[in-house]
């Protein structure tokens, strides 16, 4: 029976995708060492599927539609059955969206501080209750606030939002997310400060690399025990030019499905999926904005360093504040040549997709899925029973073999 849970909660934009790729591709190795890195996928095709992380579980904890239909009790029941069969002692979970859930600030009104933190506290209570049968340890990496907010801006544009490069407005809207001290305080209240393992996402402080550091702090073994059998899943940044191009496209009047498809096409056309840069500086803040932001969090970071990392000097981040950033040259704006190249690549991708979509088999499959979803809506009790049986089969089929995905 499982006794322990190691829960890696991010933060976002700290190389979580790389960690998850290593773990997901070596589930059998982890199993042989007594660790279970499970799957949170479902036979329900309304849910997006990822074999690497545990986002589906965290969305279910948050009560989001339609993800709340994912049964967390069933998940832990299956995990315990699996652990008993293989003599496993520790459940290993990784989902960086846990850090910002349950309220999605992107595309939504900013809540009052009291309302935002109340919702966060209630969410952590839900997680704590779900993990109450285990000895839990929370792993979190922190990134310097100016670096984090620039990377988060890039991510939000990739997700279809537009802020017109108004970084002051962006910082104000997402300010709750860079209040690391308050987040750590709430996690400490829920799980105990002694169960928080706080680390810094900074190249100078991860001398052997991020995944090697993760292996060390979790005790799962040496990093070479977990080789990549397929290319790692990277969530890298868009270049300045690609970022500006996507911001323009985000303002187009399109329905949600069209916007989603366009975002994927742009990311393909700009080679975003092929980038493997982990530590990447991108100057979206002016020197004045950067200095102001770092000054705002200087005392907070000092308190965190002393309270959670035991550093008497109060130095949380080793990197000099603006030495590297001052060297970054200003972005000259999107050139006509680049604009035309992106548009042409997107047109070619669209033509290829249109050809594939005219395939008769795909049309029949989509129609069958629509009929199935319609029946499920009317026959909920039978649908729930069907999903439980199908999810059990899905678990048994995919729990160990990442290579089959």
Domain presence at residue 19:
yes
pLDDT of residue 62: 96
What's the total number of domains in the chain?
1
**pLDDT top residue among 54 and 372:** 54
The residue segments making up the domain with residue 130 are 4-237+275-327+359-404
User: What pLDDT is stored for residue 405 in this prediction?
Assistant: 46
Is 141 among the domain residues? Answer: yes
- At residue 289, the pLDDT reads 94
The verdict on residue 242 lying in a domain is no
Mean pLDDT of 118-143: 98
Q: What is the pLDDT of residue 316?
A: 97
pTM of the model: 0.84
In the predicted structure, residue 356 carries a pLDDT above the cut 60: no
357 pLDDT higher than 70: no
The band of 305, judged by pLDDT with boundaries at 50, 70 and 90, is: very high
Average pLDDT, the chain: 83
Q: How confident is the model at residue 337 (pLDDT cuts 50, 70, 90)?
A: low
**112 touches 104 (CB < 8 A):** no
Tell me the pLDDT tens digit for each residue of 183-229. 999 999 999 999 999 999 999 999 999 999 999 999 999 999 999 98
Tell me the per-residue pLDDT of 266-280, one tens digit each, with 9 for 90 and over. 777 665 544 444 445
Determine, yes or no, domain membership for 168: yes
Residue that wins the pLDDT comparison between 305 and 233: 305
- pLDDT score for 276: 46
- 3 state SS for the chain: CCCEEEEECCCCCCCHHHHHHHHHCCHHHHHHCCEECCCCCCCCCCCCCCCCCCHHHHHHHHCCCCHHHCCHHHHHHHHHHHHHHHCCCEEEEECHHHHCCCCCCCCCCCCCHHHHHHHHHHHHHHHHHHCCCCEEEEEEEECCHHHHHHHHHHHHHHCCCCCCCCHHHHHHHCHHHHCHHHHHHHHHHHHCHHHEEEEECCHHHCCCCHHHHHHHHHCCCCHHHCCCCCCCCCCCCCCHHHHHHHHHHHCCCCCHHHHHHHHHHHHHHCCHHHCCCCCCCCCCCCHHHHHHHHHHHHHHHHHHHHHHCCCCCCCCCCCCCCHHHHCCCCCCCCCHHHHHHHHHHHHHHHHHHHHHHCCHHHHHHHHHHHHHHHHHHHCHHHHHHHHHHHHHHHHHHHCCCHHHC
In a domain, 117, yes or no: yes
With respect to residue 203, please indicate whether it lies within any of the assigned structural domains. Answer: yes
Instruction: Report yes or no on 244 lying in a domain.
Output: no
pLDDT at position 30: 97
Task: State the CATH number of the domain containing residue 397.
Answer: 3.40.50.300
307 in any annotated domain: yes
């Amino acid at each position: 029976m499982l006794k322990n849970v190691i829960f890696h909660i991010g933060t976002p934009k700290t190389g979580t995708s790389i960690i998850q790729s290593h773990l997901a591709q070596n589930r059998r190795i982890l199993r042989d060492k007594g660790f279970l890195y499970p799957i949170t996928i479902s036979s329900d095709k309304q849910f997006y599927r990822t074999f690497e992380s545990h986002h589906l579980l965290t969305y279910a904890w948050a009560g989001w539609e339609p993800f709340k239909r994912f049964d967390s009790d069933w998940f832990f029941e299956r995990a315990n059955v699996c652990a008993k069969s293989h003599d496993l002692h520790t459940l290993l979970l990784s989902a960086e969206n846990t850090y910002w859930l349950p309220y999605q600030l992107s595309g939504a009104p900013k809540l009052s501080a009291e309302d935002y933190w109340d919702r966060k506290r209630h969410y952590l209570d839900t997680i704590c209750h779900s993990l109450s049968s285990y000895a839990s340890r929370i792993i979190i990496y922190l990134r310097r606030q100016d670096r984090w907010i620039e990377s988060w801006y890039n991510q939000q544009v990739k997700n279809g939002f537009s802020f017109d490069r108004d970084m002051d407005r962006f910082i104000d809207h997402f300010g709750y997310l860079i209040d690391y001290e308050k987040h750590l305080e709430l996690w400490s209240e829920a799980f105990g400060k002694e169960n928080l393992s706080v680390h810094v996402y900074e190249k100078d402080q991860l001398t052997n690399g991020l995944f090697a550091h993760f292996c060390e702090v979790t005790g799962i073994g040496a990093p070479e025990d977990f080789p990549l059998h397929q290319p790692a899943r990277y969530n890298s940044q868009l270049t300045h030019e690609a970022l500006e191009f996507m911001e323009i496209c985000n303002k187009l009047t399109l329905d949600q499905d069209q916007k989603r498809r366009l975002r994927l096409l742009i990311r393909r056309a700009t080679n975003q999926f092929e980038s493997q840069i982990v530590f990447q500086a991108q100057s979206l803040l002016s020197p004045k904005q950067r200095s102001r932001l770092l000054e705002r969090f200087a005392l907070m970071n000092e308190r965190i360093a002393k309270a959670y990392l035991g550093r008497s000097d109060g130095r949380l981040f080793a990197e000099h504040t603006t030495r590297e950033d001052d060297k970054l040259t200003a972005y000259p704006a999107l050139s006509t040549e680049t604009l035309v190249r992106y548009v042409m690549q997107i047109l070619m991708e669209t033509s290829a997709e249109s050809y594939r979509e005219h395939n008769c088999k795909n049309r029949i499959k989509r129609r069958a899925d629509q009929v199935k979803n319609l029946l499920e809506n009317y026959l909920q009790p039978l649908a729930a029973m069907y999903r439980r049986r199908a999810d059990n089969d899905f678990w048994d089929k995919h729990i160990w073999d990442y290579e089959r995905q």
